[in-house]
């Protein structure tokens, strides 16, 4: 694994502030556990409200966690005054996600000025050793902070 150097010396506080403003992470009860240049770890305690019909953590929730971990890993290497957005990802679900705690790790594979490719993993922590339950490959884009992050809706008013 390559080691990276952040171009923004204040990258960690920028990542933590962005994560703190992300309402979906607050709703899920996720925590930002590790922030390093090119790598981010997010943890989520088990919550029965986030399970599917068999009692496993829902695949969509795993996707949200790993996508965010990859996005923030890419963001650690982006300059101040920018934002990060997902361009695409592919996720493989390897095993049912059951446990008391879930961890998502995002790592930069190839940084770029505009596009950054990342790899992500989701782990379930039960009584035994942690189990790999999902693997992701994702592409993130660096956009100027002034650019709208989504479609602008004109209400006609």
Residue 5 within a domain: no
What domain range is 97 assigned to? 11-144
Residue 119 within a domain: yes
Residue 152 within a domain: no
pLDDT score at 57 = 96
In the chain, the number of structural domains is 1
Residue 6 within a domain: no
- In eight-state DSSP terms, residue 144 is E
Q: Are 36 and 52 in contact (CB under 8 A)?
A: no
Q: Are 73 and 118 in contact (CB under 8 A)?
A: yes
Residue 61 within a domain: yes
Q: What is the CATH number of the domain that holds 57?
A: 3.10.129.10
pLDDT at 156 over 80: no
Q: SS3 of 27, please?
A: helix
Percentage of the chain modeled with pLDDT above 70: 92
Please indicate, yes or no, whether the overall pTM of this predicted structure exceeds 0.85. Answer: yes
Per-position DSSP letters for 32-91, written without gaps between them: EEEEETTEEEEEEE--GGGB-TTSSBPHHHHHHHHHHHHHHHHHTTSPTTEEEEEEEEEE
Residue 153 within a domain: no
């Amino acid at each position: 694994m390559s080691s990276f150097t952040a171009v923004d010396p204040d990258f960690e506080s920028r990542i933590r502030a962005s994560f703190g403003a992300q309402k979906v992470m607050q709703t899920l009860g996720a925590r930002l556990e590790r922030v390093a240049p090119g790598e981010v770890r997010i943890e989520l305690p088990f919550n029965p409200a986030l399970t599917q019909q068999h009692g496993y953590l829902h695949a969509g929730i795993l996707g949200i966690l790993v996508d965010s971990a990859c996005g923030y890993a890419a963001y650690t290497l982006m300059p101040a005054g920018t934002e990060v957005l997902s361009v695409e990802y592919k996720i493989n679900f390897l095993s049912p996600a059951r446990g008391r705690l879930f961890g998502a790790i995002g790592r930069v594979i190839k940084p770029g000025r505009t596009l950054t490719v990342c790899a992500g993993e989701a782990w379930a922590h039960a009584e035994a050793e942690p189990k790999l339950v999902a693997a992701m490959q994702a592409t993130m884009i660096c956009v100027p902070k002034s650019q709208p992050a989504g479609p602008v809706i004109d209400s006609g008013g």
